[in-house]
Chain A
Amino acid sequence: MNFGRSLLSLRKSFFSPRLLKATNYCNPRNNNKSLLVHVSPIQYFHVSICNHQEEISTPPPPEGFMPGVANSKLIKHTHEEAIKNPELVKAGMSLGETKKMNLFQSVNDAMSIALTTDDKAIIFGEDVAFGGVFRCTLGLVEMFGQDRVFNTPLTEQGIVGFGIGVASVGHTAIAEIQFADYIFPAFDQLVNEAAKYRYRSGGEFNAGGLTVRAPCSAVGHGAHYHSQSPEAFFAHSPGLKVVIPRSPIQAKGLLLASIRDCNPVIFFEPKILYRAAVERVPIGDYELPIGKAEILKPGKDVTVVGYGSQIYILENAIQMAEKKIPGLSCELIDLRTILPWDEDLVAKSVNKTGRLVIAHEAPKTSGFGAEIAATIMEKCFLRLESPIQRVCGWDTPFPLVFEPFYTPDMIRCYDAILKVVKY
């Protein structure tokens, strides 16, 4: 292989999302260990690209790529698959209709139902009246009028403070922060005001009617301020709930539950899934439980935990590991709610498998994986067969050109699975 030439062409087209796609789709056959050991990551990155460049021809969507979503087994492509979900059966959706929706449409659908069923519900945020930058509120102003769906100035602290006020008199406030990266001016309002309102007023007042939606996580080219995953900051605030969905069906049910939950909820939507994830979503009104994780694939040897868009990367990593090690069986868990997280389900799983791999995009140090690892160590200490592995973003700011190195991709997740198995 001519690395000199390869690197040249890599440089020239680094930003081409085709290449990013190729990286994540690399053929397991090319992924032998010797390659990983003897070439630098950048070279390795390119080797896999070269082998696949010809296979890929469709141009990428402007929102970036989410490799593996379209063909994921976790996505419910048909009506039958969709309504088989026991949680939906329980919610009475098994008899109803489903409709093809991507994630922004399902979020839109959930908000439309929330405003229809609750006269006191309002939606506000930057540019939401014309549909929002990701089209999540498209058409809602026409359906519900400007009194219930309206733009705010660019004032994040004001948006959340306003939402707390609206919620404190018993209304339902659905606020949008345009990007999760912009939520920090509102950090004080969320952590000190929303989270503690009930506690500090002895139950007299609360901000339970507040739900803050914000698009989060990597998108392929977002750089410092359009890519972050700040869930762990809020997981440190008793009084808040933090939810991250992985798919349209999940997003609709979890968002409706979040809006109706009597605690302030922060709802992070992985922005890369807005268009990439398309499912048959029940058109009815249903909720999915907050605080409950979901086992997406049962297994007996390794527990693999993630949430949001990371789930699809883990799915591919597991597929690859199970192909490489015949007989290996991994259990994939979607946490869904970060706070309060489903300790029991994860502990039960690790007590069965004895091994745990956690993956998230946020930096490793004090990321939510640290909390999971510490709790599982307490609860499953004698049962653990190997050190818990965390595959995360690195402890650097989110870099523009190095995004493919920064995010915990399939190869890194695969390596972590290998490591806990071979320990």
Chain B
Amino acid sequence: MLVNPRLSMLSRSISLLSRSSQLRARLFSSSAPAASETVNYTLPEGSFQTYECDPPSHDIKVNKEETINMYKQMVLMRRLETTADGLYKSKHIRGFCHLCTGQEAVAVGMEAAITPDDHVITAYRCHGFTLVRGQTPHAILAELMGELAFSLTSLCKGGSMHMFSKNFYGGNGIVGAQVPVGAGIAFAQQYLNTKQATYILYGDGAANQGQVFEAYNISKLWNLPAIYVCENNHYGMGTSASRSSADTNYFARGQYIPGLRVNGMDILAVRQACSWAKDWVLSDKGPLVLEMVTYRYGGHSMSDPGTSYRTREEIQHMRSTNDPITGLKQRLLDLDFLTESETKQIDKDARATIDEAVKLAHNDPFPDETELYTYIFVEGSEPPFVRGREKEEVGHVVHKQ
């Protein structure tokens, strides 16, 4: 049987994750914190695994307000994805749709560690990143539903896999294609001396694309401030990591690039790793490879039930022992940052926000048909004709913007 060794390998690789929920935080502050209080906190042992570098400190500071915000964002993100799932099933969303349910800690934790001036590029599982990078749930849902929101993601030309925001270079539909693009973004930061980091995300499936290694090479060669972030959710579509990769230590696959494996289900570990990585690349130490060990609860996309290549028990196990939202919630309760009833209110608020966004998206106008021809070339440099659909159907139609 192939299933058993695979499962055991999976549980080994995520054993550090389960420990996080079992271990109670070691607190150095005994009294209940005030509104803006910051407490010292020690991340569980095993949060990090290193390759050719020293690990980040396990002792971190946790600010009440900031942590509650991170919690709220994760709850909102999950609600957004759950709603997208429902809208897809009711045929309000068509096309390809990849949900990040289960992986929220990566996007939210990373955003908490960086500033809006830092740069992020990812693959097609991009709703969560689009949200934390500044787009509203309304804009995201409108893009998914083919309605035109005023805060635009891709003008409904791309849909789920192709969303953008400021300093967020997109959802990219082709597996691995964003990785060398990210190296270019990092090069520009180095050239312009902006002191900004570039986070380049890809999955465990994409980690085997040749262009990933081309990007590793040039970024080390030119000492770029590039942080390669492999979101290892254990399955490239329907193929488990161990079946597709000769070496599943994704954090060590940069060979000459130091790496760090992070418990991607622990948002505080993610935040600490991303902040450490930023310091690293900005002190001219060159690129880094981070591996965020995470898990997606749903299938690869909407057409994949996600249960033919893994067991329901495995998914259930991950949900009940490693959920990033439950994990943070427990800590917030332990730290007396939140009460049970406050967390219920956060859930309710998230639901209301998303319901409102759905309503808005439903009422948005359908994109004007002339949008078909916009943004093919830079404004003012378009060719005199864009062959497009007009009433006479004559083929060569002058398109004027």
A contact residues vs B (CB 8 Å cutoff): 7, 10-12, 14-17, 36-42, 44, 62, 126-127, 130, 133, 151-158, 181-182, 184-185, 220-226, 363-365, 389-391, 394-397, 399-402, 405-406, 411-412, 415
Contacts and interface: CB of A to CB of B under 8 A. Distances in A.
A396 B91 contact: no
Contacts of A151: 239, 243-244
Interface residues of B, number: 54
B389 A399 contact: no
A415 B161 CA distance: 35
B308 A130 contact: yes
B238 A41 contact: no
B94 interface: yes
8 contacts: A38-B391, A40-B391, A221-B159, A223-B173, A389-B395, A395-B387, A401-B146, A405-B372
A176 B226 CA distance: 33
B111 interface: no
Contact of B210 (A40, A185, A220): A185
B225 to A, nearest CB: 26
Contacts of B158: 223-224, 400
A223 B159 contact: yes
Contacts of A415: 393
B209 A155 contact: yes
B contact face: mostly helix, strand, loop, or mixed:
loop
B54 to A, nearest CB: 31
A222 B96 CA distance: 7
A17 B244 contact: no
Interface string B289-312: 000000000000001000011000
Nearest to B393: A415
A185 B372 contact: no
B366 interface: yes
Nearest to A39: B391
Given A15-B145, A402-B369, A224 B173 contact: yes
B95 A400 contact: yes
A62 B89 CA distance: 11
Interface string B342-379: 00000000000000000000100111010111001000
B269 interface: no
A186 B309 CA distance: 27
A397 B239 contact: no
Contacts, number: 158
Interface string B374-401: 0010000000001111111101000000
B385 to A, nearest CB: 8
A185 B367 CA distance: 32
A417 to B, nearest CB: 12
Given A15-B95, A126-B237, A405-B389, 5 more contacts: A40-B391, A185-B209, A224-B158, A395-B388, A396-B386
Contacts of B330: none
Given A15-B92, A154-B208, A394 B308 contact: no
Nearest to B93: A15
B271 interface: no
B371 A395 contact: no
Contacts of B96: 221-223, 226
B325 interface: no
Contacts of A126: 237, 239
B205 A154 contact: yes
The 7 closest A-B pairs by CB, nearest first: A153-B208, A15-B94, A225-B173, A11-B366, A221-B95, A221-B94, A400-B159
Contacts of B389: 41, 394, 405-406, 412
B146 A390 contact: no
Contacts of B94: 15, 17, 220-221
Contact of A182 (B174, B367, B393): B174
A130 B309 contact: yes
B90 to A, nearest CB: 10
B386 A394 contact: yes
Contacts of B173: 181, 223-226
B167 interface: no
B160 to A, nearest CB: 8
Interface in B166-187: 173-177
A401 B374 CA distance: 14
Nearest to B143: A400
